[in-house]
A and B are shown apart, each in its own frame.
Chain A
Amino acid sequence: MQWRARPWRYFARIGFLSLPLVFVSAFLVVPLVLTVIISFWERVGMKFRPAFSLASYLTVIEGARLKVLERSLIVAVEATALALLIAYPIAYFLARKASAYAARIVLVLFTIPFLINYIIRNVAWTSLLGRNGTINTVLMTMGLTDGPVDWLLYSDFAVLIGLISSYMPFMVFPLVLSIGAIDRQYLEASALLGASPFTTFCRILLPLSLPGIFAAIIFGFVGAFGESAVPIIMGGVGYELVGNTITSSMDVLNYPLAAALSSIVVMIMLVLMLSWYLIFDMRAFLGKILEWRS
């Protein structure tokens, strides 16, 4: 065995290679565990001390914050579903119908708005959607409405626009990857055997692209459910989702409550991530790298 011949070198190499793992564990896994621990701390006056208290979780369950969690869940599911409905046909078209050159250009065009700070993009939406904004001006000039439309900004509609434009571009990529990896012959065989395009879609394309759909849903949902800036910008004063409830708990220095809310959100994400990991193999993401090993 390798390690018996040169044990020092062997372990040095393993240690060196696992640096990124150590980094992520130290600066993400440990802090998340710490968050869970702090969520059980108790409040004494304005200070906190280590304890095992369920007070923060009781505050979440009893108060208006359960409503906030419920609303966050509904808004996040709506945003993710709508984004998926837009992203899936586009991804299918790019992976299966467009030329490789055109598909690459379109994917690049999707990357650029994704990369640009979504807070900047959302702030810009307010100047487009507001009462005196561009869209209302256009609508009134065209004579479609008499007065400015109020629900365009500071509403559920605005929050959905903000969430979809923030996270939809990122959902296209896993979909393109998984649809592109489906063997063309399955689709052809289905058509040759007389299945309608709709049957082929339901029985072949959809099941085979599930890993990509699930990955896209996770990316959209993680973004939308934990989002803290979009509800402030697009929802306006008093619009609370769990993300900005966490930041406002931090602003009033109620760290155990912020930690409890954050832990609930992270737990939901981890359950989603683990089910993705257990249900689907990640070959679409690892590709040839794993084939080499066997």
Chain B
Amino acid sequence: MQPGLPLSRSWPMWLIIGTTLAFLYMPLFPALLLSVRGEGGEEFSLSRFQELWRVPLVMNALRTTAAVALAVGLITPILGLLAALSIRELRMPRLILLIMLLPLFIPGVSMGLASAFLFRVLELPASLPTMVIVQVVWALPFATLIILTVMSTFDPAYLEAAYISGASKWRAFRDIEFPLIAPGIFGAASFSTIISLNETVRTSVVQGPWNTIPTYIWSTYKQVGLSPALYALMTLVILSTVVLAGTYLLLNRPKKVSTFDVIEESAL
């Protein structure tokens, strides 16, 4: 743990950080403020949100978003866990990591276009499964990195102890390692759900007739521009992301060791 500079010397840097954060958070406010303004100009009203409930397109998009996010949140952490384990167990870990990180290096449009070609060749119509597949591919590198980070704080001596006591590989994983890295897996699940909730460019290429809330916002914006109803939808996305991110942070609270201590430790 480093103690940190006193504020008397570090304030210029805090000013820069504060300004940068203000720049990053500024675009969240128009949606939050304008969505609660009432039709007659009242200061605070939830009428925009009540209106949304009456639009069938929005309700369908909401259901699609929930179904896809749930599927992505369930499938990605399982694949991420397997990926992290394969990096540890199989040969050529660097190459495996590189392939697992590949989706981070491919721009959204290219990934959407390529998936659309594949689904066309496989004669798989655009549907919920195609959206789930594209989003899982996109969320997988993040899930893998989160689980790898948590795994690196796990002491392998526990596994040795389990083997010496006669446990099989599977038994040692199930009874010893899994409970200890479980917070990382749940963290990866909430992170994947967040990514699914916010993904737009890739999904909009393979969605077919199905809209999610973000793709609905995007296509409506392109066709008719901004509206109070759109601000209300944006507020919904922002708030659910913040709630999920909060859940993720609670699950991944540093207990005794944080990622920082690991870096510090390996630096010594």
A residues at B contact (CB < 8 Å) = 13-14, 16-21, 23-25, 27-32, 34-35, 38, 86, 89-90, 93, 95-104, 106, 108-113, 115-117, 119-128, 134, 165, 168-169, 177, 180-184, 218-219, 222-223, 225-229, 232-233, 243, 246-247, 250, 255, 258-259, 262, 265-266, 269-270, 272-273, 277, 281-282, 285-290, 292-293
> Mask for B89-100, Cβ within 8 A of A = 1, else 0?
110011011111
| Given A115-B194, A286-B94, A286-B97: A109 in contact with B21 (beta carbons within 8 A) | yes
Chain B contact residues, CB within 8 Å of chain A? 1-5, 10, 13, 16-17, 20-21, 23-31, 34, 79-80, 82-90, 93-94, 96-100, 102-111, 113-115, 117-118, 121, 133-134, 136-137, 140, 144-145, 148-149, 151-152, 156, 169, 194-195, 197-201, 205, 214, 217-218, 221-222, 226, 230, 234, 237-238, 241-242, 245, 249, 254, 258, 260-264, 266-268
Ranked nearest first, the 10 interchain pairs of A and B with the lowest CB-CB distance are A226-B107, A99-B4, A31-B114, A20-B83, A124-B27, A117-B198, A31-B118, A17-B86, A121-B27, A180-B263
* Cα–Cα distance between A14 and B91 once the two chains are bound (Å): 10
Give the CA-CA distance A113 to B113 in the complex, in Å.
Answer: 26
* A121 contacts across to B, CB distance below 8 A: 27-28
Q: What number of A-B contacts does a CB cutoff of 8 Å give?
A: 282
Interface pairs (25), CB distance under 8 Å: A17-B86, A19-B79, A24-B99, A27-B118, A28-B102, A35-B113, A89-B13, A93-B10, A96-B2, A97-B5, A99-B3, A100-B4, A111-B245, A113-B27, A115-B241, A117-B241, A123-B217, A124-B234, A222-B107, A246-B110, A265-B110, A273-B102, A282-B94, A287-B152, A290-B93
Q: Nearest-CB distance from A217 to chain B (Å)? A: 12
Chain A residues in 8 Å Cβ range of B2: 96, 98-100
Cα A125 to Cα B31 in complex, Å, equals 10
B237-A123 in contact (CB<8A) = no
Whether A120 touches B31, Cβ cut-off 8 Å, given contacts A165-B23, A247-B109, is: yes
| Complex contacts, A287 vs chain B, CB 8 Å | 148-149, 152, 262, 266
Bound Cα distance A279, B221 (Å)? 43
Q: Are B201 and A228 in contact (CB under 8 A)?
A: yes
Pick the residue among A229, A270, A285 that contacts B218 (CB under 8 A): A229
Whether A228 and B258, one on each chain, are in contact in the complex, defined by CB atoms closer than 8 angstroms, is no
Check if A265 sits within 8 Å of B88, measured CB to CB. Answer: no
Q: In the complex, are the beta carbons of A222 and B105 less than 8 A apart? A: yes
B88 A293 Cβ-Cβ under 8 A: yes
Q: How far is the CB of A87 from chain B (nearest CB, A)?
A: 9
Please indicate the chain A residues that have their CB under 8 angstroms from the CB of B226 in the complex: 123, 126-127
Query: What is the CA–CA distance of A228 and B31 in the complex, to the nearest angstrom?
Result: 22
Q: Which of B4, B194, B214 has the most CB of A within 10 A?
A: B4
Question: How far is A90 from B24 in the complex, measured between Cα atoms in Å?
Answer: 14
Residues of B within 8 A of A109 (CB): 21
**Chain B interface mostly:** helix
Bound state CA distance, A96 and B105, in angstroms?
28
Contact residues in B for A16 (Cβ distance below 8 Å): 82
B27 pairs with A90, CB closer than 8 A: no
Tell me whether B79 and A113 are in contact (CB under 8 A): no
Please state if B267 and A17 are interface contacts (CB–CB under 8 Å): no
- A182-B267 contact in complex given A117-B237, A119-B200, A289-B87, C-beta closer than 8 Å: yes
* Nearest CB in chain A: distance from B133 CB, A: 5
Q: A123 near B108 (CB under 8 angstroms)?
A: no
B145 and A123 contacting across the interface, CB-CB below 8 Å: no
Given contacts A24-B102, A165-B23, A183-B267, are A250 and B113 in contact (CB under 8 A)? yes
B118:A30 contact, CB within 8 angstroms: yes
A93 touches B113 (CB 8 A): no
Chain B contacts for A181, CB-based, 8 A = 263, 266-267
CB neighbours of A111 from chain B (8 A): 245
Beyond A29-B102, A89-B16, A100-B258, 4 additional contacts (C-beta under 8 Å) are: A183-B268, A270-B105, A277-B94, A287-B149
Q: Which residue of A lies closest to B244 (CB)?
A: A115
Residues of B within 8 A of A30 (CB): 118
Closest chain B residue to A127, Cβ basis: B30
The reply to whether A35 and B99 form a contact with Cβ atoms under 8 Å apart is no
How far in angstroms is the closest Cβ of chain B from A132? Answer: 12
Closest to A26 in B: B118
Contacts of B87 in A (CB 8 A): 286, 289
Task: Note all chain A residues with C-beta closer than 8 A to B111.
Answer: 28, 31
* Contact A113–B25 (Cβ < 8 Å): yes
Please determine whether A258 and B113 come into contact, CB atoms closer than 8 angstroms.
yes
- When the two chains form their complex, are residues B117 and A110 in contact, meaning their CB atoms are under 8 A apart? no
Give every chain A residue within 8 A of B94 (Cβ-Cβ): 277, 281-282, 286
A27 & B105 in contact (Cβ 8 Å cutoff): no
Please indicate the chain A residues that have their CB under 8 angstroms from the CB of B1 in the complex: 99-100
Asked if A102 contacts B4 (CB within 8 A), the reply is yes
